[in-house]
Amino acid sequence: MKTDSRERALLLLTLDQAYNRKSWHGTNLRGSIRSVSLSQAAWRPNPNRHNIWEIVVHAAYWKYVVWRRLTGQQRGSFPLKGSNWFERPEGGTEQEWRGDVALLDRMHRLLRDAVDGLTASAFRQKSKDSAITNASLVAGAAAHDVYHAGQIQLLKKLLSQG
């Protein structure tokens, strides 16, 4: 296996374990929202804090940002208006919640496909909007997923105690 093939395989494995594949570290991002109901997703520990639903859309957005940087796509093509944090409706519907979960899945697939298509030299390059290499950007996207999976697990624990 060539070096670029190993690097690609390792980055894809890291992305997948952080998102939806079994790993040693425990619950991944997709696992953290498995069976989360609309009411659980919308619950806030405090009026000034994010809920699970907003974390899900935030994670989808940053997968999009990394995808955009890897592919050179223009800004502004994310399906929702805004950036970073997206306030979700107080009286949202199950369909809206599930739609945002599907958005997260879609953004993960886009990112994964972009990583799979990178050349060996592209892993070491920096994109136009980034100060770090593409390989570091992808590894950071995986770490971002694990970080937010932990937040979601904590929110679910707080909700079950309230």
pLDDT the model gives residue 162: 62
In a domain, 159, yes or no: no
Query: Residue 70 is part of a domain; what is its CATH number?
Result: 1.20.120.450
Give the domain extent around 7: 3-148
In a domain, 156, yes or no: no
In a domain, 153, yes or no: no
Helix (H, G, I), strand (E, B) or coil at 25: coil
**Using one digit for the tens of pLDDT, what is the confidence trace for 3-24?**
568 889 999 999 999 999 998 8
pLDDT the model gives residue 74: 84
In a domain, 154, yes or no: no
In a domain, 10, yes or no: yes
Instruction: Name the one residue in this structure whose structure tokens are 């979960």.
Output: 101
**Under the phi-then-psi rule, with left for phi > 0, alpha for psi from -120 to 50, and beta for the rest, what region is 121?**
alpha
In a domain, 157, yes or no: no
Of 90, 80, 96, 104, which is closest to residue 30 (Cα–Cα)? 104
pLDDT the model gives residue 75: 86
Q: In whole angstroms, how large is the CA radius of gyration of the chain? A: 16
**Using one digit for the tens of pLDDT, what is the confidence trace for 91-133?**
899 999 999 999 999 999 999 999 999 988 899 999 877 789 9
In a domain, 58, yes or no: yes
In a domain, 160, yes or no: no
What is the share, in percent, of the chain residues with pLDDT greater than 70?
A: 97
- Using 50, 70 and 90 to split pLDDT, how confident is the model at 2? low
pLDDT at 1 over 80: no
What is the share, in percent, of the chain residues with pLDDT greater than 90?
A: 76
Number of domains in the chain: 1
pLDDT the model gives residue 3: 52
